């Protein structure tokens, strides 16, 4: 069967959880004998928004559609006619019997009903809370306050500072640079000097930040509910995410199915000393790495180690400050980012994974990766995390509570927890998740 996977970004350009999940699901579907194409978005200032190119990524056929976020306004963050047309052309050419949408940010919500109109079965996985939150689906403001309730007026004020929403002067400056043939230079400069690039964009936004109204927020919510309702199958990796979708007004059935993005059957937990703690994730404020660093620095153990793996490109100023704080303690090391297929190198170094998130994590892939390798997890008791990290393989802690995190680390390092052998954790594999998807779509 021909199957298309649609996702907002894809490795190796982007290696966050949703992207890696889509990669592994694509591989699993191909292993099951299906013909798979990935349709994704990419930001490339050297090319025009709506242009497309074919790539071979991890031995998969991938069509990249350029979206430089130069359309303007809140509506452009979820509806782009030129991006939608290019992505739909890639789907039409593939003629899939099934289209699985992993995320529509950077693309266009109209793709979902359009794919169904092609005659394909359609499924969408609710990896985060984009349905109800235009700020990257985090349900969290820039000041890290979680939005328990969604209020259009509050969202309008918050979205004015969202990096997804370009200010008019910012859009015009980028368009002028592209017209002068400087897009490639800007692209390379931002990758090499991310803090400088972020500062330049902030300066462009300062004179006139984007303006968003409550009515625009309401129109966005209505459009996305209609798009999500057009899917034949809606999937959430946790009950928590399914409930948030219902609260956002999605009245159609949402099936709760684990992401199942690990590639090997889970291993048993061997007894061993827990001396090296690892953080794996984006170095951005909502991931809470600073909470972990503060808790760790108060530990007396001279032989304890903390390794922070991840990219700082998303929040370069935060990552730089984290690096300065970590440099004070020789026991802390920043390992940098790694490719999805190199995860074994990172996990081989750690005895305990820490997931100190401050946002409503849904079903964090990194926790599943650790548990599948027989590595216990300390995680924030937030969002859908308690459905993924449970006793005796892990322990959930109050998010942001440095004292509670330090006490748990002391307990783990002393052998008070996670010292006994354990049977494998109940983690789904990508093959199991792919079979579940196909069964639901039948």
pLDDT of residue 210: 72
Rounded average pLDDT over 407-436 = 94
**C-alpha angle with apex 338: 333 to 342, nearest 5 degrees?**
115
Candidates 53, 112, 126; CA nearest to 78 is 112
Q: Is residue 316 part of a domain?
A: yes
Q: Is residue 232 part of a domain?
A: yes
Count up the domains in the chain and report the number. 3
pLDDT of residue 69: 85
Q: Is residue 376 part of a domain?
A: yes
Q: pLDDT (tens digit, 9 = 90+) per residue, 314-362?
A: 889 999 999 999 999 999 999 988 887 788 888 988 999 999 999 999 9
Q: Given pLDDT bands bounded at 50, 70 and 90, which one contains residue 73?
A: confident
Residue in the block written with tokens 């899939």 = 96
Residue 408, domain CATH:
3.40.50.2000
Domain identity same for 306 and 251: no
Domain identity same for 88 and 221: yes
Domain identity same for 219 and 73: yes
- Does pTM surpass 0.85? yes
**C-alpha angle with apex 175: 142 to 73, nearest 5 degrees?**
45
User: Of 10-19, 88-97, 256-265, 409-418, where does the model show the most confidence?
Assistant: 88-97
Rounded average pLDDT over 195-209 = 56
Q: Is residue 247 part of a domain?
A: yes
Q: pLDDT (tens digit, 9 = 90+) per residue, 350-399?
A: 999 999 999 999 999 999 999 999 999 999 999 999 999 999 999 999 99
Domain identity same for 251 and 300: no
Domain identity same for 346 and 249: no
Percent of the chain with pLDDT over 90: 71
Tokens of 131: 């349905």
Domain identity same for 146 and 192: no
Domain identity same for 222 and 201: no
Q: Is residue 428 part of a domain?
A: no
Q: Given pLDDT bands bounded at 50, 70 and 90, which one contains residue 159?
A: confident
Q: Given pLDDT bands bounded at 50, 70 and 90, which one contains residue 295?
A: very high
Rounded average pLDDT over 179-205 = 57
Q: Is residue 227 part of a domain?
A: yes
Residue in the block written with tokens 């309702």 = 229
Domain identity same for 130 and 237: yes
pLDDT of residue 131: 95
pLDDT at residue 57 is higher than 60: yes
Domain identity same for 134 and 176: no
pLDDT of residue 380: 98
pLDDT at residue 293 is higher than 80: yes
pLDDT at residue 169 is higher than 60: no
Domain identity same for 242 and 345: no
Domain identity same for 117 and 241: yes
Q: Is residue 350 part of a domain?
A: yes
pLDDT at residue 311 is higher than 60: yes
pLDDT at residue 191 is higher than 80: no
3-state secondary structure the chain: CEEEEEECCCCCCCCCHHHHHHHHHHHHHHHCCCEEEEEEEECCCCCCCCCEEEEEECCEEEEEEECCCCCCCHHHHCCCHHHHHHHHHHHHHHCCCEEEECCCCCCCCCHHHHHHHCCCEEEEECCCCCCCCCCCCCCECCCCCECCCCCHHHHHHHHCCCCCCCCHHHHHHHHHHHHCCCHHHHHHHHHHCHHHHHHHHHHHHCCCCCCCCHHHHHHHHHHHHHHHHCCCEEEECCHHHHHHHHHCCCCCCCEECCCCCECCCCCCECCCCCCEEEEECCCCHHHCHHHHHHHHHCCCCCCCEEEEECCCCCCHHHHHHHHHHHHCCCCEEEEECCCHHHHHHHHCCCCEEEECCCCCCCCCHHHHHHHHCCCCEEEECCCCHHHHCCCCCEEEECCCCHHHHHHHHHHHHCCCCCCCCECCCCCCEHHHHHHHHHHHHC
Domain identity same for 313 and 234: no
pLDDT of residue 129: 95
Give me the domain span that covers residue 56.
2-157+212-261+433-441
pLDDT at residue 260 is higher than 60: yes
Q: Is residue 60 part of a domain?
A: yes
Q: Given pLDDT bands bounded at 50, 70 and 90, which one contains residue 79?
A: very high
pLDDT of residue 72: 75
Q: Given pLDDT bands bounded at 50, 70 and 90, which one contains residue 211?
A: confident
Tokens of 376: 């216990």
């Amino acid at each position: 069967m021909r199957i298309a996977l649609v996702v907002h970004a894809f490795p190796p350009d982007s290696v966050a959880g949703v992207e890696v999940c889509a990669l592994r699901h694509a591989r699993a579907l191909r292993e099951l004998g299906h013909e798979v194409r990935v349709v994704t978005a990419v930001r490339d200032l050297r090319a025009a928004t709506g242009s497309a190119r074919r790539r071979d990524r991890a031995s998969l056929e991938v069509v990249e559609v350029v979206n430089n976020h130069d359309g303007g306004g809140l509506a452009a963050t979820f509806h782009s006619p030129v991006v939608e047309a290019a992505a739909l052309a890639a789907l039409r050419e593939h003629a899939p019997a099934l289209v699985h949408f992993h995320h529509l940010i950077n693309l266009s919500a109209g793709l979902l009903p359009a794919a169904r109109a092609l005659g394909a079965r359609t499924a969408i996985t609710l990896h985060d809370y984009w349905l109800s939150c235009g700020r990257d689906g985090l349900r969290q403001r820039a000041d890290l306050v979680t939005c328990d309730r969604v209020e259009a007026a509050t969202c309008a004020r918050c979205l004015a500072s969202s990096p997804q929403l370009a200010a008019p002067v910012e859009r015009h400056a980028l368009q002028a640079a592209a017209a002068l043939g400087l897009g490639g230079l800007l692209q390379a400069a931002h990758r090499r000097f991310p803090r400088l690039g972020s500062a330049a964009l902030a300066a462009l936004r300062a004179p006139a930040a984007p303006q968003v109204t409550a009515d625009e927020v309401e129109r966005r919510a209505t459009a996305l509910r209609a798009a999500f309702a057009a899917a034949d199958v809606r999937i959430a990796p946790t009950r928590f995410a399914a409930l948030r979708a219902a609260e956002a007004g999605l009245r159609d059935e949402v099936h709760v199915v684990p992401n199942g993005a690990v590639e090997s059957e889970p291993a048993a937990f061997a007894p061993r000393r827990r001396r090296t703690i690892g953080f794996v994730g984006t170095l951005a404020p909502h991931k809470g790495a600073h909470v972990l660093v503060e808790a760790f620095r108060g530990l007396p153990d001279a032989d304890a180690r903390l390794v922070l793996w991840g990219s700082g490109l998303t929040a370069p100023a935060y990552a730089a400050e984290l690096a300065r704080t970590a440099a004070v303690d020789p026991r802390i090391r920043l390992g940098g980012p790694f490719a999805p297929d190199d995860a074994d190198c990172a996990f081989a170094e750690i005895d305990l994974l820490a997931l100190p998130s401050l946002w409503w994590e849904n079903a964090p892939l990194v926790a599943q990766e650790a548990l599948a390798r027989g590595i216990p997890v300390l995680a924030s008791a937030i969002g859908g995390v308690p459905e993924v990290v449970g006793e005796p393989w892990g322990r959930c802690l109050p998010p942001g509570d440095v004292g509670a995190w330090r006490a748990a680390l002391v307990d783990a390092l002393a052998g008070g927890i996670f010292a006994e052998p354990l049977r494998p954790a109940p983690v789904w594999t990508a093959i199991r998740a792919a079979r579940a998807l196909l069964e639901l779509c039948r």
